[in-house]
């Protein structure tokens, strides 16, 4: 591979691609609306419906379940369908569904609307992943994924205060209307895009039948399981999500009982995850010039594991701040190279299925972590659970390291890192 092919495009280079700018802008505004709506739902359920802690947890679970169990099948259809049409229709349907939240007067209506929205999103997310692959050159995907993650983290930091003010001044319905508008804006940004995906004549002639869907789903799973790089990074992503889901909900308890601190400290240390990930997305393009994606994923696992262990060991505010910042950096080192590697090493005709399967596993890991974190903490204690999460991440990183050591240099990811 020549030097020009090896050189990674910077974030500035990628932002100069007009089609990517439109996709990124639509995603940025849509995410902003989503976070406002989520905060409004949680606020309404807590203070107006007086929902229990379990019911509040089920709000998150209701959104994750469709991704967990239907996502891989949705990916089969995405690999068949027109990408632009799929994303626009998904945006328009979700714009209507958000309006229904205004009329949701009980917790079960909220569950139903969120599950339906999530079901529609199972088509949008892989379609966007395939679109990104078609719009951005291979050597720009790392920066493109970094920009997508950067947008999410910036919004995650700035929206809680704004959402709280909007709900307090005007009510939850204002956040829902903004979210509806954000979906419409996303559809408008996508509409002019020229998305060229090579489809063979045999694929365009396929008719959707149960047999063909099952066959294509099986082909996608076989590809994942037999591809060393992709199977490892998916394992790393899933393990990282499970560990974060285990200790994430208990950070508030840790701040209260171990740090003896208040809500301000809880909010501050939580925001440092976003700060760490944003700084990682800014620096990762240069860092990736001399590192393989697989090795960066291993390093991300280790950074998160060490950060969690630091929080558990020192048990004070400064080191907890360092630990949460490190978790953000490690999350970026896992998420961005993993998504880039999956996009670059998956055949175009399978990107929808593979990316959907990834989101499915991440959703399952998150649900399992949320469900079991409370019971595990009750049996082990918060500190021991933190250590258990750190050890699990370190073991997966060690497994990945020794797996890389035994691989031959013919592997494209390894070869690129050594070039």
CATH of the domain at 280: 1.20.1250.20
Neighbouring C-beta atoms of residue 169, cutoff 10 Å:
8
Of 237-241, 248-252, 327-331, 379-383, which gets the smallest average pLDDT?
248-252
CA distance 396 to 383: 20
- The domain of 298 spans 220-419
Q: Please, is 12 exposed, middle or buried when counting C-beta atoms within 10 Å of its C-beta (0-12, 13-18, 19+)?
A: exposed
**Predicted local distance difference test score (pLDDT) of residue 413:** 52
C-beta of residue 397 within 8 angstroms of C-beta of residue 301: yes
Looking at the fold, whether 181 and 243 belong to one and the same domain comes out as no
pLDDT band, residue 406 (cuts 50/70/90): low
Looking at the fold, whether 189 and 247 belong to one and the same domain comes out as no
CA distance 345 to 227: 9
Looking at the fold, whether 51 and 104 belong to one and the same domain comes out as yes
Give the rounded percent of residues in the chain with a pLDDT score beyond 70.
90
Task: For residue range 204-218, list pLDDT tens digits in order.
Answer: 445 556 677 778 888
Of 34-38, 148-152, 228-232, 262-266, which gets the smallest average pLDDT?
262-266
Looking at the fold, whether 240 and 290 belong to one and the same domain comes out as yes
- Residue 2 pLDDT greater than 70, yes or no: no
Helix (H, G, I), strand (E, B) or coil at 317: helix
> What rounded mean pLDDT belongs to the chain?
84
Domain count, the chain: 2
Query: Which of 160, 195, 230 marks a domain boundary?
Result: 195
CA distance 132 to 134: 5
Looking at the fold, whether 114 and 234 belong to one and the same domain comes out as no
**Predicted local distance difference test score (pLDDT) of residue 110:** 94
Alpha helices in 171-290 (DSSP H): 172-190, 201-204, 210-226, 228-247, 251-257, 263-287
CA 303, 150, 87, 12 torsion: positive or negative?
A: negative
Helix (H, G, I), strand (E, B) or coil at 82: coil
- Residue 202 pLDDT greater than 50, yes or no: no
Nearest to 338 by CA among 392, 365, 298: 298
- Residue 87 pLDDT greater than 80, yes or no: yes
Looking at the fold, whether 146 and 265 belong to one and the same domain comes out as no
Neighbouring C-beta atoms of residue 4, cutoff 10 Å:
7
**Predicted local distance difference test score (pLDDT) of residue 201:** 40
Task: For residue range 276-303, list pLDDT tens digits in order.
Answer: 989 998 888 777 767 788 889 999 999 9
């Amino acid at each position: 591979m020549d030097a020009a092919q090896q050189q990674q495009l910077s974030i500035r280079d990628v932002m100069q691609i007009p089609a990517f700018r439109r996709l990124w802008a639509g995603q940025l505004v849509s995410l902003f609306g989503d976070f406002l709506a989520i905060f409004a739902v949680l606020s309404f359920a807590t203070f107006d419906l007086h929902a229990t802690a379990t019911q509040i947890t089920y709000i998150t679970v209701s959104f994750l379940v469709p991704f967990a169990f239907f996502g891989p099948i949705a990916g089969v259809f995405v690999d068949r369908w027109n990408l632009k049409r799929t994303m626009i229709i998904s945006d328009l349907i979700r714009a209507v569904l958000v309006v229904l939240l205004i009329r949701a007067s009980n917790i079960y209506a909220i569950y139903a609307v969120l599950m339906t929205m999530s079901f529609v999103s199972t088509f949008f997310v892989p379609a966007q992943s395939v679109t990104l692959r078609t719009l951005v050159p291979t050597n720009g995907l790392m920066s493109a994924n970094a920009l997508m993650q950067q947008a999410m983290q910036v919004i995650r930091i700035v929206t809680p205060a704004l959402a709280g003010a909007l709900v307090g001044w005007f009510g939850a319905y204002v956040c829902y209307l903004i979210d509806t508008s954000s979906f419409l804006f996303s559809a408008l940004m996508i509409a002019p895009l020229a998305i060229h995906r090579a489809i063979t004549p045999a694929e365009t002639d396929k008719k959707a039948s149960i047999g063909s869907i099952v066959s294509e789903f099986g082909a996608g799973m076989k590809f994942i399981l037999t591809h060393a790089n992709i199977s490892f990074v998916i394992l790393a992503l899933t393990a990282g999500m499970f560990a974060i889901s285990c200790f994430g909900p208990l950070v508030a308890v840790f701040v209260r009982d171990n740090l003896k601190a208040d809500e301000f400290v809880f909010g501050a240390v939580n925001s440092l995850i976003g700060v760490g990930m944003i700084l990682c997305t800014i620096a990762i393009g240069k860092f990736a010039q001399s590192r393989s994606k697989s090795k960066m994923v291993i390093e991300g696992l280790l950074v998160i594991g060490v950060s969690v262990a630091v929080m558990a060991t020192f048990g004070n505010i400064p080191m907890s701040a360092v630990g949460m910042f490190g978790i953000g950096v490690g999350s970026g080192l896992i998420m961005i190279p993993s998504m880039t590697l999956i996009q670059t090493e998956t055949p175009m005709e399978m990107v929808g299925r593979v990316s959907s399967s990834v989101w499915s596993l991440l959703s399952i890991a998150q649900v399992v972590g949320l469900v079991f974190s409370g019971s595990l903490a009750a049996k082990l204690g918060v500190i021991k659970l933190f250590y258990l999460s750190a050890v699990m991440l370190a073991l997966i990183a060690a497994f990945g390291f020794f797996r890389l050591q035994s691989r031959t240099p013919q592997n494209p990811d390894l070869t690129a890192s050594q070039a």
